[in-house]
Structure 1
Amino acid sequence: MEGGDGAGKSTQAQRLAVALQDRGHSVLRTREPGGTPVGESLRALVLEHGNGEIDARTEALIFAASRAAHVRQVIRPALTAGTVVVCDRYIDSSVAYQGAGRGLGTDTVRGLNEWATEGLEPDLTVLLDVDPERGRDRRTAGQAAEDRLESEPDTFHLQIRRAFLETAQADPGRYLVLDAGRPVEELARTILQRVETLLP
């Protein structure tokens, strides 16, 4: 699941995992950054306020390190065991946020993450497309404090949105791009229908 902050990725990841389990599949739902003890520690370091300045290159390396541990320790073993993995964020997030948003270059960041994951790619990426202003409204509706990346200005989040859409347009066969403003249940049905075409 990919998309800007406030797109509803976590909600749809949860719904998809439950629906697939109900149909008899073994499912692992996980997230990035995180998914492992070291990944969760790195998540807190890079997303929470109060850890001092984190420059763009350091930020990209922290995300890649978390992803490397996640793939090696969690995702690959699950796939080897025949488990369906539903992941909230993956390489495309780094390409969008650090490559485009932070200006490090999408090719550079993609290369770093392909090395970190040993080339592991998703069979399908669901991109929930959200307007930055709508995403902010959703994030702040519960009055929860925004993390370091969420609190960036809407111009930053607009760059993220464009990068996600450009990535999806470059490889349309691997993406399902959906308007995140559609009803939650409708999105869940559409996602499940597409995923089921990939499963035995």
Structure 2
Amino acid sequence: MSGGARFITLEGIDGSGKSTQARLLAEALRGQGHVVHLTREPGGSPGAEEIRKLLLEGDPDRWSAETEILLFTAARRDHLERVIEPALARGEIVICDRFADSTRMYQGLRSAEGREMVDSLHDLMIKREPDLTLLIDLDPQAGLDRALSRKGSEERFESFGTDLQARMRAGFLELAGDFPDRITVIDGARAPEQVAQDILGVVTSRLR
């Protein structure tokens, strides 16, 4: 494989279909003969999965925004060291369901200094951005309705409601404007097959 987009992340508000699209993309790329490692955040490595449980379960006010930023950064560092960087070194494509952009939005929007803190810790401890980020854009109410219809362990963040979802959507789109070379916006308000086709087209063009 000769392309530069080897570390690919999917981002978006809750219910936007990131996990489904990450799986479909991995399957499509494997069908093309690529070796793909599909992973997620928070989590992706044994240590990071333990931190995931601390973050996604319990009362919405269990942690302050500042404490969450530290926990997410710790989980991401372990994930990067033990999974992402070794897979990239082997020449694999890494597809990750969420990465630092989600922390910039969720925790960065919860306090006045949150975004600056996220970026400072990222520069200090992570020092890596994805090669390509696919931002699946969706109306906040539609996303929240989808998210709340699922059974899973992310109820803590989904319980923050539509106000935070709307602010995150605006924040994600602003981020896409700031980093147009890295972030591609995908319309998520369509059938999953149509969204997957668009995503595969973008990724394939970047792999050439």
Query: Which category describes the TM-score, using the shorter chain as reference length?
Result: over 0.9
**CA 1:73/1:144 → structure 2, altered by over 3 Å: closer, same or farther?**
closer
Letter in 1 for 2:64: D
Change in 2 beyond 3 A, CA 1:50/1:185? same
What do the CA deviations read for 1:82-139 (whole angstroms, capped 9, x no partner)?
000000000100101111234433232122123221x211111000112221111111
What's the counterpart of residue 71 of structure 2? 62
SS state at 1:28 partner: strand
- 1:183 counterpart residue number: 191
Q: How does 1:147-186 map to 2 (within 5 A)?
A: 147-186=155-194
| Pair 161,103 (structure 1): closer, same or farther in 2 beyond 3 Å | farther
CA distance in 1, matches of 2:151, 2:53: 20
- Distance across 1 between alignment mates of 2:152 and 2:62: 22
Match of residue 116 from structure 2:
107
- Asked if residue 81 in structure 1 is aligned to residue 90 in structure 2, the reply is yes
Structure 2 unaligned spans of 5+: 1-9
Question: Is the Cα contact below 8 Å between 2:66 and 2:114 reproduced in 1?
Answer: no
User: Judging changes above 3 Å, is the alpha-carbon distance between structure 1 residues 145 and 18 closer, same or farther for their aligned structure 2 residues?
Assistant: closer
* d(CA) in 1 for partners of 2:74, 2:51: 8
**1:152 CA drift (Å):** 0.4
In 1, Cα distance between the equivalents of 2:75 and 2:29? 26
What is the percentage of aligned positions where both structures have the same residue?
44
- Other structure's SS at 2:103 match: helix
- Structure 1 segments, 4+ long, off by >3 Å, are 101-105, 142-146
Alignment RMSD (CA, Å) = 1.7
User: Per the alignment, do residues 24 and 60 of structure 1 end up closer, same or farther by CA in structure 2, a change over 3 Å counting?
Assistant: same
Preserved CA contact (<8 Å) 2:22 2:96: yes
Partner of 1:9: 18
Alignment match, 1:21? 30
Asked whether 1:49 is paired with 2:58, we answer yes
Cα offset, 1:52, TM superposition: 7.4
Structure 1 residues without counterparts, runs of 5 or longer = none
How do residues 76-155 of structure 1 correspond to structure 2 at under 5 angstroms? Answer: 76-117=85-126, 119-142=127-150, 147-155=155-163
Whole-angstrom distance in 2 between the partners of 1:193 and 1:30: 21
User: Relative contact order (C-alpha < 8 Å, sep 6+): which is higher?
Assistant: 2
TM-score, normalised to structure 1, is 0.93
Distance of 2:78 and 2:192 partners within structure 1: 32
TM-score (norm 2): 0.90
Cα distance in 2 between the residues matched to 1:106 and 1:52? 19
